Amino acid sequence: MTTTIGLIRHGITEWNSLGKAQGISNIPLNEEGLAQAIATAKRVYSEQWDFIYSSDLIRALQTAEVISNALGINSVTTDYRLREINCGQIEGTTEEERIMKWGTDWRLKSLGMKPFEEVAKRGIDFIREVSIKYPNKRILIISHGALIGLTLQHLFPKIFTKTNIKNTSITIIKLNEREWECVLFNCTKHLE
């Protein structure tokens, strides 16, 4: 029994381009992000995927809809647990603005940001739930950089201590019986 999960980060947005923290702000894809979503859809077109889940934030949902249309999957199921980390007061700010406002040690301050462990738990709980619900199926999940990265770091602590998930990168994990395996990580060859 093998369940396969493909984790895809949404396409780029204007805030990504500007280096602004997005968090749960509902920012749409820009033109480049839409092109990335199309390139991702072309890449997965020849693969068999059974279901698509997405964060309910517009940038992930737009990416998921482009992919679902290409695959002929009639619906995308949204789930709030796939949302990005809530960045609190830093949402909408650049690194430079954060340093000016809170100093170089701004990362040590709470500023309303959700704990990383809470985000990772959300991601792991969701992945476990769909793997139990759909054994031997192939499920695409379109989400966000921090959620995917933190989930991987906690699911594979010996492999991933840091992650930098690229826009529309594909990571594939498989559940063989009771053991998770990462067979592809952060791949963006479809953007080359």
- Label each residue of 32-98 as H, E or C: HHHHHHHHHHHHHCCCCCCEEEECCCHHHHHHHHHHHHHHCCCCCEECHHHCCCCCHHHCCCCHHHH
Predicted model pTM: 0.95
* pLDDT tens-place values along the chain, 192 residues long: 789 999 999 999 999 999 999 999 999 999 999 999 999 999 999 999 999 999 999 999 999 999 999 999 989 999 999 999 999 999 999 999 999 999 999 989 989 999 999 999 999 999 999 999 999 999 999 999 999 999 999 999 999 988 999 999 999 999 987 889 999 999 999 999
CATH, domain 2-191, list 3.40.50.300, 3.40.50.1820, 3.40.50.1240, 3.30.160.100: 3.40.50.1240
Report domain extents, the chain.
2-191
